[in-house]
Amino acid sequence: MDVNKILTADFLDLIFDGRNKEYGAYDLRKTYNKRITYALIGTFIICALLLVGSIIANTAKKSKAEIIVQDVSLENVQQEKKPEPPPPPPPPKQEPPKVEITKFTPPKIVKDEEVKEDDEIKEVEKLEDTKIGAINQEGAKDDGIVAPPVETGTGVVEAPKVEEDYDKVFTVVQIAAEFPGGLPAWSKYLERNLNRDLPVENGAPPGKYTVVVSFIVSKDGSISDVVAENDPGYGTKAEAVRVITKGPKWKPAVQNGRNVIYRHKQSITFQVSEE
């Protein structure tokens, strides 16, 4: 290389002076910085595109789960109470049998011409088998016939009272069993303890998944026999049974002033929606 060009020559030109620059190594080293710059820029652009695409996809398809608690009303779930049959009609009134009555004529001492036909005195033998009264009446002989009693009431025959069995499981009561604090406290308990994201985690598509659970509230308020009457899938049935089973005691149901065993039904809805 010319001495005058050494000070202005590139480092690679000095290294490859007198060598075959067409071999390829010279060009690779000459363009190294440019190629590294292009590679870094391309990598950054690809990563940025992937990040933006992931954010857009999550925003468009992200599912949101909610819990809807509904206390099933007895009118909708329990078997309709059949109307009580009407009482039997009162027996027809029976006319008392007519009994032969002979008018009693008190003895009077009068003249023969003053005696009236109606005041005829009956012989004693004819009065032995007849009733004595104020009038004359034809009828059956008095053989101890007793006329039926005359009803003085309303004529309604009351059905015999059936003693209530307070050890059976009631489904309809005067005062239903209740969670301590009422329905708002019960809803809050379920919302805090149920895993609302369980359907989403198990791949449930958007929609409503309702589980109807029935359970026994004993006379002391303890919970037992928790049973799911349906299974919408995606783990909702087991989750509803689990949370209700581990719950606290309830206020027992009351029938005729007594605590009774009561079967309660509860509807729990897992709602999955797209944000």
Q: What is the predicted pLDDT for the residue at 52?
A: 84
What are the tens digits of pLDDT across the range 16-51?
A: 565 655 666 666 666 777 778 888 998 989 998 988
What average pLDDT does range 251-256 have in this prediction?
94
- The pLDDT value recorded for residue 273 is 83
Q: For residues 107-120, b (16+ Cβ closer than 10 Å) or e, as one string?
A: eeeeeeeeeeeeee
Stretch among 144-148, 175-179, 194-198, 226-230 having the lowest mean pLDDT: 144-148
Residue 155, domain member (yes or no): no
Structural domain that includes position 22: 7-61
Read off the pLDDT band of 165 (50, 70, 90).
confident
Asked if residue 179 and residue 68 are part of one domain, the reply reads yes
User: Is residue 34 left, alpha or beta, with left meaning phi > 0 and alpha meaning psi from -120 to 50?
Assistant: alpha
Q: Is residue 158 in a domain?
A: no
Count of domains in the chain?
A: 3
Residues 174 and 137 in one domain: no
**Within a domain: 89:** no
7 CB neighbour count, 10 Å cutoff: 6
- Inform me whether the pLDDT recorded for 147 exceeds 50: no
Mean pLDDT across the chain: 75
The answer for residues whose C-beta is within 8 angstroms of residue 228's C-beta and 6 or more apart is: 211, 212, 213, 237, 240, 241
Q: What is the pLDDT of residue 157?
A: 58
